[in-house]
């Protein structure tokens, strides 16, 4: 076996391990997860796992490094899409929900893990030299997520709707943006998507119907009378 092929197989194994570790850690958190459990999910021995990664903190750092940028790019694409949407809430609000849900589904394990560990990351890695010299990319991820400012993007969107006569003039676009975010956040928090049957047994189609019904009610309160 050539050196290049050996390296390829090793890299493929590492990527597979990261997928298995992400699955476990997103459900249980880093502290509870063990190397033995990761090895079991991956279907390999602990000895082989330790040949690839020296501990679970190193695995977590590798997950952040390989997955954070991909996740952020998806959210950034969503933000840019919202900026270019036509200012008609009846058409675009259901679309924003579907696009947002898809982004969360694509990255649910990563987001769930970050949400679980955001308060514990410094504690997890404070003794590591690499952390002191350069914080993990996970911290940059949260900073960049805040910089996306979805509330401001939605506020600008609703301002455009108002300018086009598609939003009541007696309500503030900023308030409408916050209300819309509040409408979507509870069913789209990361733990929600960890379960096959969310909302106490509702499937994904039922979830879509539930959100779409809420959006219709929401629209009744923000559209001018002529647009209802």
Domains of the chain (ranges, CATH numbers): 1-54 (1.10.10.60), 66-227 (1.10.357.10)
| pLDDT reported for residue 203 | 65
Closest among 157, 149, 147 to 84, alpha carbons compared = 157
* C-alpha–C-alpha distance, residues 38 and 200, integer Å: 28
Largest CA-CA distance found in the chain, in angstroms, rounded: 73
| pLDDT reported for residue 31 | 86
- For 206-226, give one letter per residue: b (16+ CB within 10 A) or e: ebeeebeeebeebeeebbeee
Q: pTM of the predicted model, to two decimals?
A: 0.64
| pLDDT reported for residue 193 | 47
Mean pLDDT, each 10-residue run in order, the chain (228 residues) = 58 91 88 93 93 91 79 83 95 91 78 71 54 48 65 94 96 94 66 46 70 92 78
| pLDDT reported for residue 181 | 85
Residue 20: phi and psi, rounded to 5, are -65, -45
């Amino acid at each position: 076996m050539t050196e290049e092929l050996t390296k390829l197989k090793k890299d493929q194994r590492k990527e597979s391990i990261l997928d298995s570790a992400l699955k476990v850690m997103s459900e249980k958190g880093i502290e509870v997860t063990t190397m033995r459990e990761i090895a079991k999910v991956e279907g390999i021995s602990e000895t082989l796992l330790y040949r690839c990664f020296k501990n679970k903190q190193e695995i977590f750092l590798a997950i952040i490094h390989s997955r954070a940028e991909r996740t952020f790019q998806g959210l950034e694409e969503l933000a840019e899409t919202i900026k270019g949407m036509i200012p008609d809430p009846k058409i675009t609000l259901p679309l924003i929900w579907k696009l947002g849900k898809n982004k969360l589904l694509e990255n649910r394990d990563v987001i769930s893990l970050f949400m679980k560990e955001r308060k514990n990351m410094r504690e997890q890695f404070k003794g590591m030299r690499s952390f002191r010299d350069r914080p993990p990319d996970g911290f940059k991820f949260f900073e960049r997520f805040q910089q996306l400012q979805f509330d401001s993007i939605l506020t600008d969107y609703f301002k455009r709707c108002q300018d086009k006569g598609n939003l009541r003039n007696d309500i503030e676009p900023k308030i409408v943006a916050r209300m819309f975010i509040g409408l979507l956040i509870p069913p789209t928090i990361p733990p929600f998507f960890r379960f096959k049957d969310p909302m106490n047994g509702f499937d994904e189609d039922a979830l879509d119907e539930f959100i779409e019904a809420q959006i219709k009610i929401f629209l009744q309160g923000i559209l001018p009378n002529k647009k209802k």
